[in-house]
Chain A
Amino acid sequence: MATKLRARAKRRISPTSERPLVQWLLIAISLAFMGIILVLPLYAVFHEAFSKGIGAYLAALTERDAQAAIRLTLLVAAIAVPLNVVFGLAASWAIAKFEFKGKAFLITLIDLPFSVSPVISGLVYVLLFGAGSFLGPWLKSYGIEVLFALPGIVLATIFVTFPFVARELIPLMQDQGTGDEEAALSLGANGWQTFFRVTLPNIKWGLLYGVLLCNARAMGEFGAVAVVSGKIRGQTTTMPLQVEMLYNEYNATAAFALASLLALLALVTLVLKSVLEWRFGEEIAAGSH
C-alpha cells in the first residue's frame, strides 16, 4: 500500500516540468556548452597574458603604443557614450511620450545598427568622408580630418552603439506613460524641472543599464573602427585594433595582456549588469532583452 502511494506520488509532477533525467541532461548540456564557448577562452586569455610572468604582463601594458591605445579607447568612449545618452534620451522621450508621423520608421531606424554589419557601418563613413567624397575634401580644406583620425573613430563608434540606450529606455518610458509628468506640470513645474526631478529619477537605473551596455560595446568595437581608423600605430589604434596587430606580429603575450583588460571590462560589465537586474529588475525593463 505504502509503495503504491509513493509510486503515485512520484508521477505527480507538474505538467510543465521535465523528468529528473531530462532536467539533468539539459543542465549538463548548457553548462558544458558555456564552459567550452565562454569560460575556457576567458581562462585562455588570462593564462596566455601571464604566461611569461607578471613582469612581462605589466611591461606589455605600460608599453608606449599600448598606453596610447588605452587612452584612445577611453577617449572615444568618453565622447561616444555621453552623446548616445543624449540621443537615446531624446529618441525614447519622443517615441514614448508623443504621437507623431514616422514614429514607426524612427523605431526601425534605431535598430538599424544591430542589423548592419559593423564593417559596412565603417565603410559608410569612408564613402561619406573619403578622398573621393564631397564632404571629406571640403572639411580637409578647413584642416579637419575625419577619416583615419579621432572624429572618424568616434562617428563609427556612435553609429554602432547608439541603439543601446534608446532600446533600453523606450519600453521603460512607454510603460511609465505620461502620468507623472502631467502631475508635475499641474503642480506648476516647468519642463526642465519635470525632466530633472521626475522623468530622470524614474528612469535612472534603466539609463545606467543602457550606458553600461553602450560603454562595453564602445570600448570593444572592432569592425567599424578598423575600417575608419587606418590603424596608425600609437595614433588611431584602439585597444581591440592593437590586440589584433600585436597578435598578427606573433606577440601573443602582449596581445593577450591587452585583451585581458578588455575581458576584465566585460566581466565588470557583466557583474554590474547582474546587480542592476537583480536589484532594480522592475525599473529597467530588462525583460525586453
Chain B
Amino acid sequence: MLRYALKRLISLAVSLLVASVIIFIAVEIVPGDPASYMLGLNAQPDTVAQLREELGLNVSPVERYVSWVWGMVQGDFGTSYTYRTPVAEMIWQRGQVSLPLALFALLISTAIAIPLGVIAAGRRGTGVDVGLSTATQFGIAVPNFWLGIMMVLLFSVSLQWFSAGGFPGWQAGFWLALKSLVLPAIALAVPQAAILTRIMRSSLLDTLGEDFMRTARAKGLSRNQALWRHAFRNALIPVLTIIGLQFSFLIAGGIIIEQVFYLPGLGRLVLQSINARDLIVVESVVMVLVFAVIVVNFAVDLAYAAVDPRLRRRV
C-alpha cells in the first residue's frame, strides 16, 4: 500500500514537472514582450529596457524557468508583471469564483442527469425515453456560451431577475454572490447534464442486462427494486469517470462563460494575461489547473473504490 502511494506520488511529481516544462516553453515562444505592451506606442527603447530590468526579464529563460519552478516548490508563484501583485494571491482570488462556479455547475448537471438517466433507462423504448434522448441531443448540440447569451437576454434584459453578469464577491453576502453564479452555472451545466444523462442511461441499461440482474428478478424483486438495489450502484462507475472529467473541464473550460458573464475567474485571468503577455501569471495559472486536474483524477480513483468494494482489494 505504501509502495503504491509512493509510486503514485512520484508519477504525480513527474507529470507536474513535464507539464511545467511544456507550459514554460509554449508560453515563452509566443512573440510579444510584456514591457513593450505596457508602455505602448510612445515609449522610447530605453524606457522599455528600464522596465524589463525592473521586471526581471533581462535574465535568460533557463534562469527564469528555474526560479519559477523553485518558487512554486516553496509555494511562491512570483509577482505578476502587469498587476504587480503576487500571483498566488490572484489565483486565490480568482479561484474563489471559478471553483464554486464549477462545483455549482457540476451539482446542477448531476442533479439533472442522474434522475433523468435512470428514468430513461427504466422506461427504455417508451415515449419518455425518446423524448429525453431528443432533449439530450439538443443539450449536447447547444454551445454553452450561446445558451448563456440567451439566458441573459431573457432573465436579465427582459425580466431583470438577475444581473447580466459580474461578481459582487463573497464578502457582499453569500446569497448575493451565489445568485450571480446561477445563470453561468446553468449555462455550463446544461451541455454537461445532457452528456451525463446519456452515460447514465446507457450504463444502467448495460447493467440491467447482466446475469445478476436476472437473478435478482428471479428472486422475486420488482423491476424497480432490482434497479435501485442492484443495478444503480454498479452503473455509477462510468458516470463517476465522466463527472471527474467534467469537473476538470469545468474549472479550466469556464473561460468562455466567464467572458460572457464577465466573471473575474481564472479563465478570464488567463485570457487577460495572455493578451498582456503577463507570462508568469499564464504559466502559474495553467500549472495550478494542471495540478487541479491531476488531483481530481486522484479523487475519482478514490471514489471508484468507495462505490465498488472490489476495487478496494485490488489497491
Q: Do A and B come from one complex?
A: no
Interface residues of B (CB under 8 A from A): none
Which chain A residues have a beta carbon within 8 Å of chain B's beta carbons? Answer: none
